[in-house]
Amino acid sequence: MTGPDPDRPAVPGIRPFLREQAPADDRPPPGEQTTSLRPFVLTSGRVAAVDPNIGLETQVSTHPRAWGARLSPEQRAIVQLCAQPLSVAEISAKLRLHFGVTRILVADLRAAGCLEVHVVESEFPDPDTIMRVIRGLRSLS
């Protein structure tokens, strides 16, 4: 045990982050608080897209390995939701997670082998696929 540092002024026994209030003018006014970045706490602050091929409509399904894995509540919710294939947009809407956050969590779960992400390789759908969509829509009453 070393004694107290004589050069450092004595401070009351408060936890460090409670000691000093940030100067008021440094903080953004309440209306301008960066609320859009708050959801990214769930991704440890990562905001960059991991894989640009994971789009809104990309289909995601749970890999059997996920059912024994140790996951955060959000990841667990994604895994449970995707027992049936679901799009990333639907996951985002149903779990009320920001799309950017969902995409990062999905990419993490894929890297961990818990999710299968069915990335479509081609940039633009081929004529046959489009013809099938046309026929499908025409048959709608």
Q: Kindly list the distances between the CA atom of residue 26 and the CA atoms of 20, 21, 23, in Å, as whole numbers in the listed order.
A: 13, 10, 6
Beta carbon nearer to other proteins, 8 or 138: 138
Question: What is the spatial distance between Cα 71 and Cα 63, in angstroms, rounded to a whole number?
Answer: 14
Binding site for other proteins (CB under 8 A): 36, 47, 49, 52, 55-64, 67-68, 73, 76-77, 80, 83-85, 87, 89-90, 92-94, 98-100, 102, 118, 120, 122-127, 129-134, 136-138, 140-141
Q: In the bound complex, what is the minimum distance in angstroms from residue 10's beta carbon to other proteins?
A: 41
Beta carbon nearer to other proteins, 29 or 136: 136
Under the phi-then-psi rule, with left for phi > 0, alpha for psi from -120 to 50, and beta for the rest, what region is 96?
A: left
Beta carbon nearer to other proteins, 14 or 41: 41
Q: In the bound complex, what is the minimum distance in angstroms from residue 54's beta carbon to other proteins?
A: 9
CB-based burial of residue 19 (10 Å sphere; 0-12 exposed, 13-18 middle, 19+ buried)? exposed
Beta carbon nearer to other proteins, 111 or 120: 120
Question: What is the spatial distance between Cα 60 and Cα 95, in angstroms, rounded to a whole number?
Answer: 14
